[in-house]
Structure 1
Amino acid sequence: MEHHLNLVHNIPFFSIFFAMFCGIITPLIKNGRIARRVHGTMVAIVGVLSVILLVNVVQNGEAFTFMMGHFPAPWGNELRVGPLEALLAVLISVVMFLTITAGSEQIFKEIVPEKQSFYFIMLNATFGAMLAMTYTNDMFTAYVFIEILTIASCTLILAKGTKQAIVGTTHYLVFGCVGSGLFLLGVCILYGITGHLLFPQMKETIAMLMATGDYHFALMFVVTLMFVGLGIKSALFPFHSALPTAYGSTMTTSNGILSGLVLKAYIILAIKLCLEVFTLETLVELKIADIMFVLGVLGMVMGSVYAVHEGRMKRMLAYSSVAQIGYIFMGIGLGSVAGMIATIFHVFAHAATKSMLFICCGTFIEEADGKEQLENLKGAGHRNPLAGIAFTVGALSMIGVPLFAGFISKLYFAIAAVQMTGIRMVLVLGALAISMILNAMYFLPSVIAIWSRPKEEAKKAHLTPLFAVAMVLFIVVNFVLGIGYRPIVQVMEMGIELMQMVL
């Protein structure tokens, strides 16, 4: 039994190593379709291993650390795995696999053959970096993979090679560098204060400093730098302006990965810092939770306002992502376990939904000869019924209609708000109501447009088997999150409880 457990404990490191190894060998593959098969096989294997890991840690009710390089504290490199990390790894694997499966034909159409394998190199690096940021237990590993993810993300935006893509990539890179720089500065100062890079030792030292009152202002400054840096990288309002430009100029397959997963990787790291390094109580005492709460509420409303006034579908979905990121930071800003559960569930709901929406959007635009204005997409649902159904499911989920994933996360946000007192409860409930109304104001016209009767008889689009299977599975995942959410929430609660403990 012990030997079996040791093998299972190697899964996180193997998953990261396998993704990076596939990135190294992909340049040797000149055929883009073979590179896609290598990437898909790798993600599928990691997904299966992540499920095995999840079952193991949930059954044993355990969390464990995996030392890399065998360097002791304070300079060690460690991975930490509990129920929440394993669950997030499953999410990343599933959404990555379905997005690339559904959008693979678009990749081969929009990227010249000699650059297709390079695109899959960056996908492998992106996948490995997201897993590393999910499992990391030290600041050095976190920062290294933040930079890897930034570079890989910019390459995904640049893939089309158009002038618009270059502008979008430059805008995205500038914001990304500012965010990374602020985070690195915060890490350097925090290391100077605590003398540690590993999360558990940092947590103990920070708890001692908070108890004695030493370095109070310095800690407040450090935490602000780190969370503002992660907020910039995850497109938190008002640091969102790079998102519409970047998403509007690249392939929707890249958009699905960037919005559904890459933005969430930075948020996952922020959640880990909240629970494993600073604690929710420290964030509340340092008033950092208040800053995230205010920016989150503003993002919920302003992102939706921008989306209502946007006539191009991809940019509308980009502004919608800004609003959904606002939900997540608002939940963190509540400073409670209930708020954190709502936040994490919304990470799941948005990842599974927004990737599906972007893939459907790309299909509609392709069938409209590259036009993405809403009036040019009328009748798209009749030409491609499966994409139309998937887009409708995603839109209803983002609005917050019952039976869909988005409704459950909004329900948990409301439950977390009711547990608060005073103005904060009123603000959360009011922002939820306003945002849901605004969501309906820009998603429902899109749904009505794609299902409007076209002037000419609609020609059915050619559906590839891979696209059809991926869309059906995306819809199933959305319903599973919307109906069978209780076991998922229980795993989240177990994971949060273990993350708050020092291993």
Structure 2
Amino acid sequence: MTLVQNFPFFCIILSMFTAIISFVFKGRGARNLHILMVVLVHVMSIMTLVYCVRADNSYTYMMGHYPAPWGNEIRIGQLEALMVVFFSGIMFFSVLGGIAHIEKEIDDSRKNLFYIQLDLMMASLLALIYTNDLFTAYVFIEICTIAACGLIMAKRIGRVYVSAIRYMVMSLVGSGLFLIGLSLLYCITGHLLMTPAKNTLANIVYTARYQVPLTVILILLTVGLGIKSGLYPFHTWIPDAYGYTTPAASAILSSLVSKGYIFLLIKLMVRVLPNKTLAWNQMTNVLFILGIIGMMIGSIDAIKEQNVRRMTAYSSVAQIGYIYMGLGLGTEEGIVAALFHVISHGVMKALLFISISGLSDSSNGRIDRKGLTGAGFRNKLSGFGFTVGAMSMIGMPLLTGFVSKFMFASAATEANTTKMIAAWTALAVSTVLNAVYFMRTVIVLYTPVGDAKAALQEGEKSYEKKGLVLESLGVIGFVLLNLYLGTMSPTVIDIISRGLELFG
């Protein structure tokens, strides 16, 4: 085994040890250590991706001395490495873009705890992407949940405590359902590693045994992860969780955490659960319907919202709906489109939340639509970043959102006629609704009012110039990622498609 094949394991261990070591550092030290860790994870993941693409194969990494089916292992391929490359990049730019607010809004005594939560979240996301062991996945689901609650509560104001409790309750329900489903799966297969479990399930399906337990397992695992990822109608925790915490936490929670759970669900769909059964077909139909409803309801709620951060949070409900609609198509093309949108939405939503924080800073802390009038003139870079993110969400060509919507429309042609018509209609209606609330906000941002220069100086005076520079780097980084995915998407799509072929 070559050195680069060890890098995924090194990344997980590095993230966990960074969290442990950060306890002895103060805020600045913990921050620098976290950024260094994310950079190292990103570099090692790029090297892993290059290795997997050149080898055109996937491989397993055994941890300990016991091979399958008794040991624990992670599995690495093009798809997993690609996801980690983008996840670590998104986390890096989110932290850069939100440093000024972290310094201002979080007590000095708790800053190191904030970065510890980020370290644990990075480790959890890496484990969810790489693990080939179902119980290991459950353990890191819980670690990710705790870390997310810590990020939500970091500001220590009344509303975030309510948000964190609501998030915790919904997440525990989802985790409980997932654990029950996992226990039943272990009872009938005797395996926790994904590949042996899939082989046993294939034999069970072939002999027509355990039909009712299999259906129950499928429902429990899917609903459990659906709750944790914010699938409609389990989305009620999203607006508060994303709308009131720090900008960096909002960007990370919306763009990464829910996507980690979705990636695990896709892994179960492809690598574990039997997908040629009547129960599976019915479940994909349910996901398809709930995804389309989420696309509509999330957009309608966003239109009614005056708080721009909550509006963007409601938009996440709609975007999660896109992903589940793609999964509900029940085709390989639909899964590829969903996986691309996992990356695409992560880039778009993080850009929006970081840009909103800059616009608010230049508007005396106002976050309502009226209070942001003219903010695009007062903070030109954040205004440009929000506009790029908004145009991408609507589906403007050359931006990543356009590629996502085109892929969903194209994938729908491979499904049956009913799903194709429903998907095309939902995409058209959702695009119009997206344009309503995002274009309305962009117009407000560029409506002239007062002395823009004086307002900008007033809005900036409570922040250090260093924080503003780093925030600008975060916005620029996300804009470039958006343009890259919009113009170089064939390369990414090819890796996703080939990675999915090797995924099972």
Q: Is the 1:297–1:327 Cα contact (8 Å) retained in structure 2?
A: yes
Match of 1:398 among 393, 397, 401: 393
d(CA) in 2 for partners of 1:256, 1:51: 22
CA shift at 1:361, angstroms? 1.1
Alpha-carbon distance change, 347 to 115 in structure 1, aligned in 2, over 3 angstroms: same
Q: Report whether the alignment pairs 1:353 with 2:311.
A: no
SS of structure 2 residue aligned to 1:470: helix
d(CA) in 2 for partners of 1:412, 1:281: 24
Q: Is the 2:229–2:262 Cα contact (8 Å) retained in structure 1?
A: yes
Match of 2:501 among 485, 489, 497: 497
d(CA) in 2 for partners of 1:286, 1:212: 19
d(CA) in 1 for partners of 2:48, 2:238: 34
Residue in structure 2 matched with residue 467 of structure 1 by the alignment:
471
Residue in structure 2 matched with residue 17 of structure 1 by the alignment:
13
RMSD: 1.3
CA shift at 1:73, angstroms? 3.8
Q: Report whether the alignment pairs 1:71 with 2:66.
A: yes
d(CA) in 2 for partners of 1:265, 1:210: 29
SS of structure 1 residue aligned to 2:61: strand
Q: Report whether the alignment pairs 1:295 with 2:299.
A: no
1:441-452 correspondence runs (5 A):
441-452=436-447
1:64-213 correspondence runs (5 A):
64-213=59-208
Match of 1:487 among 468, 488, 491: 491
CA shift at 1:283, angstroms? 7.6
Q: TM-score, normalised by structure 1?
A: 0.96
Q: Is the 2:275–2:281 Cα contact (8 Å) retained in structure 1?
A: no
d(CA) in 1 for partners of 2:64, 2:154: 35
Q: Is the 2:231–2:321 Cα contact (8 Å) retained in structure 1?
A: yes
SS of structure 2 residue aligned to 1:311: coil
SS of structure 1 residue aligned to 2:359: helix
Q: Which one is further off, 364-373 or 238-247? A: 364-373
d(CA) in 2 for partners of 1:320, 1:282: 34
Q: Is the 1:280–1:336 Cα contact (8 Å) retained in structure 2?
A: no
Q: Is the 2:218–2:280 Cα contact (8 Å) retained in structure 1?
A: no
d(CA) in 1 for partners of 2:284, 2:70: 29
d(CA) in 2 for partners of 1:144, 1:70: 21
d(CA) in 2 for partners of 1:318, 1:371: 17
CA shift at 1:280, angstroms? 4.1
> Percent identity of the aligned residues?
44
**Residues 458-493 of structure 1: CA deviation (Å, up to 9, x unaligned):** 434556322222211211110110010001111011
AA matched with 1:476 = L
Q: TM-score, normalised by structure 2?
A: 0.96
CA shift at 1:71, angstroms? 3.0
AA matched with 1:11 = F
SS of structure 1 residue aligned to 2:498: helix
d(CA) in 2 for partners of 1:457, 1:40: 34
**Residues 348-368 of structure 1: CA deviation (Å, up to 9, x unaligned):** 110011011001112222333
Q: Report whether the alignment pairs 1:335 with 2:330.
A: yes
Match of 1:311 among 306, 310, 317: 306
d(CA) in 1 for partners of 2:366, 2:274: 48
Q: Is the 1:74–1:195 Cα contact (8 Å) retained in structure 2?
A: no
Stretches of structure 2 lacking an aligned partner (at least 5 in a row): none
SS of structure 1 residue aligned to 2:62: strand
d(CA) in 2 for partners of 1:435, 1:427: 12
Alpha-carbon distance change, 352 to 279 in structure 1, aligned in 2, over 3 angstroms: farther
CA shift at 1:284, angstroms? 6.6
CA shift at 1:318, angstroms? 0.8
AA matched with 1:172 = Y
SS of structure 2 residue aligned to 1:287: helix
Q: Which one is further off, 209-218 or 99-108? A: 209-218
Q: Is the 1:77–1:140 Cα contact (8 Å) retained in structure 2?
A: no
d(CA) in 1 for partners of 2:7, 2:210: 39
SS of structure 2 residue aligned to 1:159: helix
d(CA) in 1 for partners of 2:12, 2:405: 32
Q: Is the 1:98–1:470 Cα contact (8 Å) retained in structure 2?
A: yes
Match of 2:370 among 365, 368, 375: 375
SS of structure 1 residue aligned to 2:74: strand
**Residues 340-387 of structure 1: CA deviation (Å, up to 9, x unaligned):** 110001011100110110011122223333321100011111111011
Q: Is the 1:11–1:49 Cα contact (8 Å) retained in structure 2?
A: yes
CA shift at 1:209, angstroms? 1.6
**Residues 117-144 of structure 1: CA deviation (Å, up to 9, x unaligned):** 1100000000110001000101011000
Q: Is the 1:157–1:246 Cα contact (8 Å) retained in structure 2?
A: yes
CA shift at 1:70, angstroms? 2.6
Q: Is the 1:284–1:335 Cα contact (8 Å) retained in structure 2?
A: no
Match of 1:7 among 3, 7, 13: 3
Match of 1:245 among 233, 240, 243: 240
**Residues 218-276 of structure 1: CA deviation (Å, up to 9, x unaligned):** 11110110110101000110000011122222112110000011111101111111111
Q: Is the 1:381–1:387 Cα contact (8 Å) retained in structure 2?
A: yes
Q: Is the 2:205–2:274 Cα contact (8 Å) retained in structure 1?
A: no
Alpha-carbon distance change, 252 to 278 in structure 1, aligned in 2, over 3 angstroms: same
Alpha-carbon distance change, 132 to 285 in structure 1, aligned in 2, over 3 angstroms: closer
d(CA) in 2 for partners of 1:350, 1:457: 32
Match of 2:23 among 19, 22, 27: 27
d(CA) in 2 for partners of 1:279, 1:105: 48
Q: Is the 1:404–1:478 Cα contact (8 Å) retained in structure 2?
A: yes
Residue in structure 2 matched with residue 387 of structure 1 by the alignment:
382
Q: Report whether the alignment pairs 1:478 with 2:469.
A: no
CA shift at 1:211, angstroms? 1.7
Residue in structure 1 matched with residue 428 of structure 2 by the alignment:
433
Aligned residues: 495
CA shift at 1:451, angstroms? 1.3
d(CA) in 1 for partners of 2:339, 2:423: 17
SS of structure 2 residue aligned to 1:238: coil
Q: Is the 2:46–2:85 Cα contact (8 Å) retained in structure 1?
A: yes
AA matched with 2:350 = S
Q: Is the 2:387–2:442 Cα contact (8 Å) retained in structure 1?
A: yes
Q: Report whether the alignment pairs 1:265 with 2:260.
A: yes
AA matched with 1:474 = F
Stretches of structure 1 lacking an aligned partner (at least 5 in a row): none
1:222-233 correspondence runs (5 A):
222-233=217-228
